[in-house]
Amino acid sequence: MKIEITDTRITLKDSSESFSILEKPVFPNFHHNVTKRPYISTYYEAGETIWGHCQGGLELLADFCHEDPYFGCYALLFRRLYPLLLSSSQAKNVIAYGQPANCGAYKVFQNFMTFLQEGNALTALAQSSFSFQVLSEQSCHAFLYCLDTHPALSAVCDALRKIRPGGLFLLYTLQDAPPAQLIPLCEKGERDCLGPCTVYAFTVDEALSAFACANSSENLIFSRAEEILKRAGDLQNLIPAMLAGASLSEEVYSIAALILQQTEEILLSIYDYLENDALPVLTNALKEAVLNYYVGVSGQYEITTYREKLTQSSEAFFSAVNAEFIKES
């Protein structure tokens, strides 16, 4: 993949395909330039114009990143970012997530942004979804998100919530198709694609904000907590029945074990947010105790110890679930 720069056009090329990144504006649209900087040189040839800086910036991008697999994505991102940055002289706050802070593309973007307006800021976040938590809601004008770094719907929605109404959300990836859980979102965006590089662009509006809110990690945690409590409720019926010595079929024990395994999986899906990170292993210990108890009952072994272990494990599990998700006042 390479960038071809002429006096009037900047094009991204990949073997036989090409994608137009920018065209030099013509005079009739000159009044669209609401930034302090001129699009193109007017009376005098002195001083650098936006167009000239674009050309230089994309040359630099090619120098810095031609071996980076995301090179094409960066060029496509620049294309989408450009109109937003030129939309006014108001300082813009752009957040980038997914590449290391010393990524060459970030330097090029920041350089161009500073040229347009000294107060423009591009902030590169650490490669952890926790880094979103330091950002205020609706605080940035654009968010560049590398989908391959953290392809989870909840994280993507957390990022979306940080963008101001009318702001720009750019998802980029080297994958042909987004993960299944992200397809409904990606279908709402505009798709730019060349070779292996794809960018999905979204303008944040009410509908998108509502979607992000419903699928954010905060909401995910609430809904997962509900699922866990529902399962804990089911177990609170099943386990006392086992301990009471009721004659139960193997299926009952299997169902209890399945509920516990599902609980483990749900807990692991929100593992980063758990206060008690031993909860999944406590759940596994209860599953083990249920299965051991069944092995004892079905094998007609002495079950006193199995009963004790089941009692202890269930007490530990329920107490930990209560402490994590209910919390006494």
Partner 1 sequence: MNKYRMCMIPAYPLENVQLLKDRVIFPYVCFRTFGESLRLVTKSTGDYPYLSYLEGAELVALPEEQPHMEAAVHYVTEHVDEIDLLFLFGARGEYMELTHIYKSLRPDGIIYLKLDINIDWANTLPLFHKPFSDFLHSCDIISCEGRRLQSLLYKKWQRHIEYIPNGVYYPLYPEAADVRFEEKENMILTVGRLGDIQKNSLLLLYAYALAFPNLKEPWELVMVGSVTPEFQTDYEDFCNRYPPLAPHVHLTGNITDKQRLYQYYRRAKIFALPSRGEGGSPNVFSEAAIFGCTVLTTGVDAAPDMTDNGRVGRISSDIEDFEGFAKELSALCCDPAYLARNFHEIRTYIKEFFDYERLASRLRMLVELQALKRRPS
Interface residue list for partner 1 (CB under 8 A): 253-254, 257-258, 261, 264-265, 268, 271, 277-278, 280-281, 284-285, 288, 291-292, 294-296, 298-299, 301-302, 305-306
Tokens of 117: 């307006």
Cα–Cα distance for residue pair 90/35, rounded to 1 Å = 9
Nearer to partner 1, 222 or 301 (CB): 301
Which element (helix H / strand E) includes 208? Answer: helix 206-215
Closest distance of CB 252 from partner 1, Å = 12
Question: Please, which residue, 59 or 227, has the CB nearer to partner 1?
Answer: 227
Is the Cβ of residue 143 or residue 306 nearer to partner 1 in the bound state?
306
Minimum Å gap between C-beta 162 and partner 1 is 25
Amino acid of residue 193: C
From the CB of 112, what's the least distance to partner 1, in Å?
34
Select 18 or 254, whichever has its Cβ closest to partner 1.
254
| Closer residue to partner 1 in complex, CB, 23/265 | 265
For the chain, what is the radius of gyration of the CA atoms?
A: 27
Pick the closer one to partner 1 by CB: 74 or 306: 306
DSSP state of 323: I
Report the nearest approach of partner 1 to the CB of residue 39 (Å).
45
Residue 264 CB, nearest distance to partner 1 (Å)? 5
Entry field: residues in the chain: 329
In this structure, the strands spanning 93-97 and 140-146 are parallel
Query: Least distance (Å) from partner 1 to the CB of residue 251?
Result: 9
- CA torsion 222→227→233→238, rounded to 10°? -160
One-character DSSP codes across 119-186: T-EEEEPPSSGGGGGGSPTT-EEEEEEETTT---HHHHHHHHTTEEEEEEEEEEESSSS--GGGHHHH
Q: How far is the CB of 280 from partner 1 (least distance, A)?
A: 5
Q: What is the 3-state secondary structure (H, E, C) of 178-197?
A: CCHHHHHHHCCCEEEEECCE
- Both tokens of 242, joined, read 């086992």
Q: How far is the CB of 266 from partner 1 (least distance, A)?
A: 11
199 strand-pairing partners: 172, 192
Does residue 327 sit in helix, strand or coil? coil
Tell me whether residue 48 or residue 226 sits nearer to partner 1 (CB atom): 226
Residue with Cβ nearer partner 1 (202 or 293): 293
Q: Which is nearer to partner 1, 84 or 174 (CB)?
A: 174
> Which residues have a Cβ under 8 Å from the Cβ of 83 and sit 6 or more positions away?
none
Which long-range contacts link 224-231 to residues 24+ away (Cβ below 8 Å)? 224/266, 224/269, 224/270, 225/270, 225/325, 227/266, 228/263, 228/266, 228/267, 228/321, 228/325, 229/321, 229/325, 229/326, 231/259, 231/260, 231/262, 231/263, 231/266
Min separation Cβ 327 and partner 1, Å = 23
